[in-house]
């Protein structure tokens, strides 16, 4: 990642600010490269050759020259957009096969597939919020190509495996490298890119410029400035404090983003739990109705059994005097 910071200045100046699509920046016209025949090829041919490499290798090729840097930036931006579309397609296919009831989804064979794809969606949203603001402003490209490779690996694993592992086991590597990439980008590269934002120079000039003084107040202003001019040590302390505050603000923003994502996940879990409660209440109502029917049937059976017993006793009682008369007559 240290090489990425060295290439930021070159990538900022190399991007075309007037291009119609910010993420898919168009490189300048072909220039002759007599020393390297590969760089003398058309851009389409170079991109076709580079498609055989991984996005991590493409990100490393940005160090070759400005022309290769422009082509690799274009391919990295395209790669992130492609992996987003591929993820949405995979998620759509899995959701179409899942049942509507949440209780049935948990026991479905595609439950783990859906959990992994939902976690990848969260990770893509974090990457989008971190990088795409500056990519859309033509200040940089999507730098971590290894993250794109890892997302593709996870999605292909989900598509090719019927019984995948648990989500935290599959996504461990993706979470690690994406978190490191976002932290490095926020701490090392964002401060450089903020100076290149369109309104940064204007705001700096407005803040740093003093009001224009008239002839009557020029001497007073000069004397005040001479008295209140800070020393170099004070300026250094102020600059260090500004850097510390900027780093803390970056950390707080990242934490706020993570908290928002967790809040969305918890809201989704609450909705799922409410759906489960509704389903359970329906099941309990059905069970109560069945129990009432069974109790009614049991009562009917008991009444029939009691009635049959009473009839048998009445018959026995009616037959007993006849038997006694027969016995007397026999005697």
Could you report the per-residue pLDDT of 182-234, keeping only the tens digit for each?
888 888 888 888 887 765 544 444 444 444 444 444 444 445 444 445 566 66
239's tokens: 């600059």
> Does 299 fall in a domain?
no
> Does 4 fall in a domain?
no
> Does 277 fall in a domain?
no
> Does 163 fall in a domain?
yes
> Does 231 fall in a domain?
no
Q: How many CB atoms lie within 10 A of CB 153?
A: 13
Q: What is the pLDDT of residue 298?
A: 92
Range with top average pLDDT, 223-227, 278-282, 304-308 = 278-282
- CA dihedral for 112, 113, 116, 118, sign (positive or negative): negative
- Least-confidence region, from 42-56, 130-144, 195-209, 236-250: 195-209
Say what percent of the chain tops pLDDT 90.
1
- Least-confidence region, from 16-20, 34-38, 101-105, 159-163: 16-20
Full residue range of the structural domain in which residue 61 is found: 39-196
Which of 89, 163, 76, 69 has the alpha carbon at shortest distance from 127? Answer: 76
Q: What is the tally of structural domains in the chain?
A: 1
> Does 260 fall in a domain?
no
- Least-confidence region, from 179-183, 237-241, 263-267, 282-286: 237-241
> Does 34 fall in a domain?
no
* Length of the chain (residues): 331
Return the DSSP state at 212.
Answer: P
Q: Where are the beta strands (DSSP E) in the chain?
A: none
Report whether pLDDT(277) > 50: yes
Q: What is the pLDDT of residue 230?
A: 56
Q: Are 161 and 112 in contact (CB under 8 A)?
A: no
Backbone angles phi, psi at 18, to 5 degrees: -100, 10
Q: What is the pLDDT of residue 140?
A: 85
Report whether pLDDT(34) > 80: no
Q: What is the pLDDT of residue 12?
A: 40
Between 315 and 277, whose confidence is greater? 277
For tokens 């107040």, name the residue: 217
pLDDT digits (tens, 9 = 90+) for 136-147: 888 888 888 889
Backbone angles phi, psi at 202, to 5 degrees: -65, -45
Which of 183, 195, 143 has the alpha carbon at shortest distance from 5? Answer: 143
> Does 120 fall in a domain?
yes
């Amino acid at each position: 990642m240290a090489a990425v910071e060295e290439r930021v200045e070159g990538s900022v100046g190399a991007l075309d600010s007037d291009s119609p699509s910010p993420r898919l920046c168009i490189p300048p016209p072909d220039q002759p490269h007599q020393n390297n025949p590969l760089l003398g090829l058309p851009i389409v041919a170079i991109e076709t050759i580079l498609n055989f490499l991984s996005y991590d290798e493409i990100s490393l090729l940005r160090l070759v020259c400005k022309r290769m840097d422009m082509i690799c930036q274009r391919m990295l931006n395209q790669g992130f957009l492609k992996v987003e579309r591929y993820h949405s397609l995979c998620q759509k296919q899995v959701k179409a096969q899942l049942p509507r009831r949440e209780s049935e989804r948990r026991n479905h064979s595609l439950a783990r597939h859906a959990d992994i794809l939902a976690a990848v969606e969260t990770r893509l949203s974090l990457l989008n919020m971190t990088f795409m603001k500056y990519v859309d402003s033509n200040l940089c490209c999507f730098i971590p190509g290894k993250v794109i490779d890892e997302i593709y690996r996870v999605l292909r694993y989900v598509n090719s495996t019927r019984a995948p592992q648990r989500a935290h086991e599959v996504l461990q590597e993706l979470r690690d490298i994406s978190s490191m990439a976002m932290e490095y980008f926020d701490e090392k590269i964002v401060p450089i890119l903020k100076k290149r934002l369109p309104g940064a120079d204007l705001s700096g000039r407005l803040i740093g410029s003093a009001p224009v003084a008239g002839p009557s107040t020029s001497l007073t202003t000069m004397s005040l400035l001479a008295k209140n001019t800070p020393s170099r040590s004070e300026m250094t302390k102020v600059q260090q404090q500004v850097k510390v505050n900027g780093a803390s603000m970056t950390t707080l923003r990242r934490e706020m983003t993570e908290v928002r994502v967790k809040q969305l996940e918890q809201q989704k879990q609450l909705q799922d739990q409410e759906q489960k409660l509704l389903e359970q209440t329906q099941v309990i109502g059905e069970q109560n109705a069945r129990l009432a029917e069974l109790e009614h049937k049991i009562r009917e059976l008991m009444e029939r059994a009691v009635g049959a017993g009473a009839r048998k006793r009445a018959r026995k009682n009616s037959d007993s005097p006849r038997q006694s008369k027969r016995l007397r007559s026999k005697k």
